[in-house]
Amino acid sequence: MTAPSIRARVRAEMIDEIKAIARQHLAADGANLSLRAVARDLGMVSSAVYRYFPSRDELLTALIIDAYDALGAAVEAADAGTTPDDLRGRWHGVFRAARRWALDNPAEYALIYGSPVPGYAAPRDTVEPAQRPPVVLVGILRDGFTSGQVTPPPADELSDPVRADLAAISDLIAPGLPEALLARGMAAWTQLFGLISFEIFGRLNNGLDHRDEYFDHQTRLMADLVGLP
């Protein structure tokens, strides 16, 4: 890797600056991001932005990938910061880290987990970073299973076709994990997403004031569901 030319470095800085301003607009105005407004804030004309992003959707895609990576990094860091054998500690740490990141970055959370933008199809680049949080979750389950701390549910609680589907998924993200346990892990992941979405999108504004404790309680229910000791 040779030293990047001044132009390349300036270009990289420009891209970062555009994304930073765009993130601010996102937080202020929501998903209907105005490329012209971003350009104005940068002191340049809208057509100049097109030197860096071929379209508004491409800019949004870049922000989406960044958001996935930021959430994934936060979750992985939380998991890495706990003692590996303390499964419940890891579990709660991961759940809390995901919620914390979402509460700190609600606009970006809405961007990646809200309704997809109409004509917008998620590019291939987004599927890998999008899998990081659930992979961490099932990683805890796999550790528990291999160490014997977690007893998997009976395999026959799954119908054959579903078990086959889950076996394929298991091969990709958590080889060796029993399908019935993976199914419960996915239930927990679905629950985590639903809990955060309800809170971020204001569906808990009905007198549920102690949200930290409520979240922890639901996290505990899911820990029980997957069989953490």
Q: Among DNA, its own copies, none, what does residue 190 contact (CB within 5–8 Å per kind)? A: its own copies
Annotate each residue in 76-115 with x if it binds its own copies (CB under 8 A) or - if it does not, as one string. ----------------------------------xx-xxx
* Token pair listed for 137: 């979750």
Taking CB under 8 A as the rule, does residue 210 contact its own copies? yes
Between 38 and 150, name the residue whose CB sits nearer to DNA.
38
User: 4 or 30: whose CB is closer to its own copies?
Assistant: 30
Binding site for DNA (CB under 7 A): 5-7, 10-11, 14, 33-37, 43-48, 50-52, 54-57
Q: CB within 8 A of 225, min separation 6: which ones?
A: 184, 187, 188
Q: How far is CA 143 from the centre of its chain?
A: 21
Instruction: Compute the distance between CA of residue 106 and CA of residue 169 in angstroms, rounded to an integer.
Output: 29
Report how far residue 163's alpha carbon sits from residue 182's, in angstroms, rounded to the nearest whole number: 10
Q: What tokens were used for 107?
A: 């606009």
> Residue 217: which of DNA, its own copies, none does it interact with, CB under 5 to 8 A by kind?
its own copies
Nearest to 116 by CA among 61, 35, 188: 61
In terms of C-beta density within 10 A (0-12 exposed, 13-18 middle, 19 or more buried), how is residue 46 classed? Answer: middle
Interface region with its own copies, contact rule CB under 8 A, candidates 4-12, 30-38, 54-62, 64-72? 30-38
- Residue 44 binds which of DNA, its own copies, none (CB < 5-8 A, kind-dependent): DNA
Shortest reach from residue 7's CB to its own copies, in Å: 36
Q: Applying CB under 8 A, does 161 fall inside the site for its own copies? A: yes
Q: List, in sequence order, every beta strand (DSSP E) within the chain.
A: none
Q: Please tell me the total number of residues recorded for the chain in this structure.
A: 229
Nearer to DNA, 21 or 204 (CB): 21
Quick check: 15 and 24 in contact, CB under 8 A? Answer: no
Tell me: does residue 193 bind its own copies (CB under 8 A).
yes
CB atoms within 10 A of CB 29: 12
Question: Please, what is the minimum distance in Å from the beta carbon of residue 152 to its own copies?
Answer: 14
Measured torsion, CA atoms of residues 34, 39, 45, 50, in degrees rounded to the nearest 10: -80
For residue 5, the minimal CB distance to its own copies (Å) is 39
Residue 56 touching its own copies (CB under 8 A): no
